[in-house]
Amino acid sequence: MLFQLMKMLLRSTPGVRRMATRLAYEAMSRFYRGHDVPFMDFGFAASEGDGTTLELAPEDEDDRYFIQLYHRVVAGAGGDATSGGCGRNGEAILGSLPSRQTSGGCGRNGEVILGSLLAGLEVLEVGCGRGGGAAWMARSLGPMRVVGMDISPSAVAHANRLHVARAGHQRSSLTNPGHSPSSATESGLPTDLSYLPGDAEAMPFPDGFFDVVVNVESSHCYGSMDRFLGEVARVLRPGGRLCFCDVRDRADAVRLRRDLEGNRHGLAVVELEDITANVLAALDRTSARKEAALARFPFWVRGMLLDQSGVIGGVVHTAFVRGERVYLRALLEKQRQGPSLPH
């Protein structure tokens, strides 16, 4: 019932959609308070026979499928996207590795070694939720700076408590883009990691501040994809990249493709793929864990959370199985000289 109401509101006018999103995610964040749930994405499972394994730190293994989605999304963030990664004998097949990579690559048995996938880059995650994805990128991929931004102040406060204070990351005032040293790995200091509240359609950053913008399962809540893409283009440096993924009903997925491919903000589509099957496989493999975690929540909200999280038999999972929902991943690059826009 609550899930269907939320879905109806998300199909309403942009203003109502924005207000409903803000209220719903703030409420959800408060429900999750006290529960260590760092990731809220659906996850990604490699196709059968892919022959690749993402090498993770032992403490990240429980969140493997959620982290694999982030890896899939950011794989082409720093260089030419040619579906790189690692195959059975170490050949690149999974999504581009950046041309500036210094230590990432492929292991002997096809495992993906992360190394410095985002080495020296300044990264913004828009819609960071409880901060798990931004924290993983900061500690695993070698960026200079990671900023997580979310519309929910409660989620931001949780992320700062869980990921910044606990890990002892350095924090900056966000007033000096491109500061030295050129990478966290060169300085010997941890990546600059911070979280702050903000609106995806009116970001609180100066022009040309970031090399990479990451957006995972968030855009379906926005009032305007056009305004969001305009803000992405504004805060990216020339040549910077948007690493994007999200879910849509089948009809809306056609519109999303059109919004991405036909945007008027100088963001060129480098890659666009349907990863629905991989996301559904991850939902199947994480369903039992999610059900166990959500069993602690009040019964009157538990059903909505189960549906939204994609557990087997829930509304979202059933829609994926029936082919009613589509999950797209895209990589876009800001042109070095954007088109002239009407005033």
248 beta partners: 326
Whole-angstrom distance, CA of residue 343 vs CA of residue 139: 42
Terminal CA-to-CA distance of the chain, rounded, Å? 44
What is the token pair recorded at 274? Answer: 């349907």
Residue 311 DSSP SS3: coil
Please, what sign has the CA dihedral across residues 124, 144, 337, 95? Answer: negative
The pLDDT assigned to 297 comes to: 75
The pLDDT assigned to 277 comes to: 97
Q: How far is CA 227 from CA 88, 221, 224, in A?
A: 42, 13, 5
DSSP string, 72-113: HHHTTTTS--SS-S--TTS---SSPPPTT-SS-EE-TTSEEE
Please list the rounded mean pLDDT of every run of 10 residues in the chain (343 residues).
50 56 56 59 85 83 94 84 39 33 44 72 95 94 95 89 72 50 42 94 97 96 95 98 97 96 97 97 93 80 80 94 97 78 42
The pLDDT assigned to 190 comes to: 56
Whole-angstrom distance, CA of residue 145 vs CA of residue 329: 23
Whole-angstrom distance, CA of residue 132 vs CA of residue 62: 12
Give residue limits of the domains in the chain. Answer: 2-41+118-334
Overall pTM surpassing 0.85 (yes/no): no
What architecture does CATH give domain 2-41+118-334?
Answer: 3-Layer(aba) Sandwich (3.40)
Whole-angstrom distance, CA of residue 15 vs CA of residue 283: 31
The pLDDT assigned to 250 comes to: 95
DSSP string, 117-163: TTTT-EEEEES-TTSHHHHHHHHHS--SEEEEEES-HHHHHHHIIII
Q: Which residues neighbour 107 within 8 Å (Cβ) at sequence distance 6 or greater?
A: 55, 86, 90, 113
260 beta partners: none
